[in-house]
Amino acid sequence: MNGCTRQAHRLTLQLGERRMTLVDLPGIGETPQHDQEYQALYRQLLPELDLIIWILRSDERAYAADIAMHQFLLNEGADPSRFLFVLSHADRMFPAEEWNATEKCPSRHQELSLATVTARVATLFPSSFPVLPVAA
């Protein structure tokens, strides 16, 4: 299976006089060769970015590639306060069968699992923003 994004994709939103451009960048961890390509792209775009929204899967524990790339970006001059870490797939947290599909919210057991993962991610990736779990 191949990743979807190999280059930067931009979407500009405008409300009155205000504009915001979202930049979707390739994810990491697919192959070391792709990660090297992406480092060059990230380095090039870093000065343009006001906020980096970093998506991590809440139901995975392997963050080594993310840690390495995060450190690379910090070494390249990224401001640690401009990272927002989001945990995707909150509905798949253990025990996944307890997800409340009607209310679209986690069970108490899942809340505890999410709190554990959120605390771990906050320790691994310090930021000015809280780690946000989401289910989509």
Structural domains counted in the chain: 1
Q: Is residue 47 part of a domain?
A: yes
Tell me which residue range forms the domain holding 69.
36-133
Q: Is residue 31 part of a domain?
A: no
Q: Is residue 50 part of a domain?
A: yes
Q: Is residue 94 part of a domain?
A: yes
pLDDT digits (tens, 9 = 90+) for 2-15: 555 678 999 999 99
Per-residue pLDDT of the chain (136 residues; tens, 9 = 90+): 455 567 899 999 999 999 999 999 999 998 999 999 999 999 999 999 999 999 999 998 899 999 999 999 999 999 999 999 999 999 999 999 999 999 999 999 999 999 999 999 999 998 999 999 999 7
Burial 56-80 (b: 16+ CB within 10 A, else e): bebbeeebeebeebbebbeeeebee
Q: Is residue 53 part of a domain?
A: yes
Q: Is residue 29 part of a domain?
A: no
